[in-house]
């Protein structure tokens, strides 16, 4: 059964949380965290998001994002996809990270 559609609208605040596949670590060191943040800032600028807060734990992250347009789904797909590719390339692995 599919999940209900996410409600998106301009000016909304979202608490976004994503955890590593099988609860595995998604940030192994400072370089991983910096790569994730760099991607997040690029997407935030592109989609005109305000990132009010973030917390990067070893196996998950939390974000508090305000969207000026209803672009959360598209932007988060890009954040997670680009980070997964970079993580897999850097750590010589394949498959899901998030």
Give pLDDT tens digits for 74-96: 999 999 999 999 999 999 999 99
> What class does CATH assign to 12-90?
alpha beta
Which residue in 77, 98, 78 sits closest to 88, CA to CA? Answer: 98
CA-atom Rg of the chain in angstroms: 14
The pLDDT of residue 98: 86
With contact defined as beta carbons under 8 Å apart, do 67 and 49 qualify? yes
Domain boundaries, the chain: 12-90
pTM: 0.91
């Amino acid at each position: 059964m599919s999940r209900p559609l996410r409600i998106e609208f301009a000016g909304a605040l979202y608490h976004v949380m994503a955890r590593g596949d099988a609860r595995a670590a998604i940030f192994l060191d400072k370089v991983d965290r910096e790569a994730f943040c760099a991607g997040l800032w690029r997407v935030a600028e592109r989609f005109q998001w305000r990132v009010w807060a973030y917390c990067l734990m070893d196996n998950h992250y939390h974000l508090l994002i305000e969207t000026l347009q209803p672009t959360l789904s598209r932007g988060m797909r890009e954040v997670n996809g680009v980070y997964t590719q970079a993580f897999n390339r850097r750590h010589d692995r394949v498959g899901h990270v998030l």
